[in-house]
Structure formats: structure tokens, C-alpha cells
Structure 1
Amino acid sequence: MTSPMKADQLFLASDAALRSVIDRIEPDDLHKPVPASWSSIDDPTVLDLLRSHAYDEAWVPGVLAGASVVDGDELRDTDLLGADPIAAYDALNEAATALVRAGVDPASTFRFQYGDYSADEGLSHLALYRAFQAWMIAKHLGIPFRLSPELIAGLNQWVLPHAEEWRAFGVFPPEIEPPVGADDETRLLCAVGYWVP
């Protein structure tokens, strides 16, 4: 029997999955459009999405320290990607990974724009965004990718019990009926409404 995945392990696995996809984005892909639902800006591109993920990685140190955007958000107006967007993202990813690997205080509070959460809940929120974005970006660009069995198990543990609650908040689209004979990855993606044939 597989032991439960800890929240920090889920974050690290999800973050690594997203990086594995981002590192295979070709320069010509950066200006391709992505679905409008993936971004709050008009006519978003892959580069815009990468900017969003770079920002999310850059905020991890602040989140772990109990900071919030309400305290100030210098990162929002900062060019985090520069001339080499993938390398810049990788550097931010490495910094976030190192901090989480060094240990997260379980008694800390993560202060997100939508509320305050315990460290475990906060890490699971950060993880679900990364994991499902990894799959969606790969699918969108035709990059070969599958969620690992360990990551699927962790998402089933940490995310699925809250899927309906988060769906009510608009985080997930409607659930999809899985096809006959669906594998574990497909069933998970259908449960959160992201699966695309």
C-alpha cells in the first residue's frame, strides 16, 4: 500500500511536472495563443502564461514567509523573464524548489488573495495549479506528457476531496463523464473537468 503523499511532496512533484513541460516549449511556441480562460488578460499567448507562472514561482518565498500581495507587490511590474524566458523561469523554479525542500513550517499561514490557509492546504493549492497546467499546456502544444502515478495519487488525495467545493468557486469546470476503460490520469482529469479527448 502506498503511503500518503505529504503536501510539500505534492508541491515538488507538481512543480517539477510543470517545469518538465515548460522546458520543452520551443521559441516559436511562445507567441501562440492559449485559451482565454487560462488568463485574465485579453488574447493571451504562451509567453503570457509563462509570465504568470514565473510570477507564481517568484512569489513562493514571500508566501512561505507569510507575505501577501496586500503588503505590496513589486513583482507584478517586474520583468521576470528577460531575454531568455525559459532560463529565467527555470531559475525562479529552482529557488522555489530549494526553499520548499529546505522545509516548510507546518504552523505557518499562507496568505493568498482569496484567503488564509494552513501550510498544507496552501501547498496543495499551489500544487494543483501547477500539475493541471502542466497537462493542459502539453496537450495544447502537442508536447508528450503524462502525470506520474505518484502525482496522480497525490492529487487524488489532496485535490479530489475538495473538487466540488472549488468548482463552486469557479476553480474547476464541470465534471466530465470519463470514457469507458479510462485510465487513472483520465479519470482524475475528468473529475476536475479538464480532460480533452
Structure 2
Amino acid sequence: MRLTETYERAQAEFDRRVRRIGDGQWSAPTPCTEWSVRELVNHLTAEQLWAPHLLRGETLAEVGDRYDGDVLGEDPVAVWERAARDAREAFAAPGALDGTVHTSGGLTPAEEYARQMTLDLTVHAWDLARGIAADDRLDRDVAASVYGFVEPQIEGWQDLGIFDPPVEVAGDAPVQDRLVALLGRDPAW
């Protein structure tokens, strides 16, 4: 599967859950213990808002603080939809993944950035599904791709405090369970 296709499918997984959020669910907790449903959607929406800028070569300083705080406003679903569309178009643009982007970790190959964005969309789609008590089944191919990307480097990311320590699951558990457990989430949450 092409990287842009994996990204788009991961984004569709998150989008499907955003569209299912009921009025009373925006303040519900998620397995990502720092964030409520709204805070989780805000985080992913801000990431999507950043993507077109970074893929055009803008620096963090040039983007500035415009996406700090609450980016969702009064119509969170509509803001998410616009941000997702613009990010999808930016990632699909010819040559978008050929260069480097400025990230908080320094200059990063655009393909690596796309993989990181895909990872975030995938794990947070699961978080969001659990937070709103929706179907949490992820696209198996996307989960397998993300697991293959994350597994070899998880220790370094945990050392940075990006993810909680892994949760134990059986070695023959479905790839989705192994992925969320690797990222510090209890598949039974």
C-alpha cells in the first residue's frame, strides 16, 4: 500500500469516528488520559491544519502559534472536515513526500512525517472510538502498516515520554490489539 493511501485510510478511520460524536460526548474521557473527546479531536485537527504549511516548506516560526489552543470553535466537525481535506490534498500533491519538513524534532523527511501523522490518526481513531463507545475496529492493513513502523522504534519514543510503557498482550493477539498495547493502551479499556 502506498504511504499516501495508508495516510488517507487512517484519516478516514478518524473521520468516521468524529462524525459519530454525539452532543453529550464531547467532554467524555478517552484512553489517552490527558484528553477528553474534544481535546483529542482538537489535537488531531491542529495537526491536520499544520500539515499543508509544513509540506510547503514553512518553518515552525513561520506558522507560529496560530493553531495553539482551541481550533475547533463552535462547529468542531466542520473545522475537522476542512482541516482533514486540506491536509489530504497537501499530502497527495506531486512531490509532497520527496523533501523534508520542519518539525519540533528538527528537519524530518516528509515520508517520515507522513508515517508519524498516520500513526497519530490510527491510534487516536481507536482512542476516539473507545471514548464515544463506537466501533473501534481499525482497518487491518493500516494497523499492520503502523505497527511495522512503530515497533522497531518504540523504545526511543517511550524514552522521550511520547507513549506510556507497553501493555502486555498475547503474541498471537490481533494486530490492532498489539498496536494499541505497544502504544501504552489497554485493548480492553
TM-score range, shorter chain: 0.7 to 0.9
Q: Which moved more, 1:180-189 or 1:132-141?
A: 180-189
The residue aligned with 1:132 is 123
Contact between 2:31 and 2:127, CA under 8 Å: does it hold in 1?
Answer: no
The residue aligned with 2:51 is 60
Say which of 19, 23, 29 aligns to 2:15.
19
Matched, 1:106 2:106: no
Per the TM alignment, residue 174 of structure 1 is displaced from its structure 2 partner at its CA by: 1.0
Aligned AA for 1:171?
A: I
Per the TM alignment, residue 86 of structure 1 is displaced from its structure 2 partner at its CA by: 0.8
Per the TM alignment, residue 155 of structure 1 is displaced from its structure 2 partner at its CA by: 0.8
The alpha-carbon distance between structure 1 residues 106 and 56, as it changes in their structure 2 partners (threshold 3 A), is closer
Per the TM alignment, residue 123 of structure 1 is displaced from its structure 2 partner at its CA by: 0.7
The alpha-carbon distance between structure 1 residues 32 and 159, as it changes in their structure 2 partners (threshold 3 A), is same
Aligned AA for 2:24?
A: D
Per the TM alignment, residue 181 of structure 1 is displaced from its structure 2 partner at its CA by: 5.2
RMSD: 2.3
Gaps of 5+ in 2: none
Q: Helix, strand or coil: the match of 2:102?
A: strand
The residue aligned with 2:158 is 167
Aligned AA for 1:6?
A: R
- TM-score normalized with structure 2 length: 0.86
Structure 1: which 4+ aligned runs deviate by more than 6 Å? none
Offset from partner CA, 1:76-122 (integer Å, 9 cap, x none): 35864333211221121112112222334333111111222101111
Matched, 1:187 2:178: yes
- TM-score normalized with structure 1 length: 0.83
Quote the Cα distance in structure 2 between the aligned partners of 1:157 and 1:196: 18
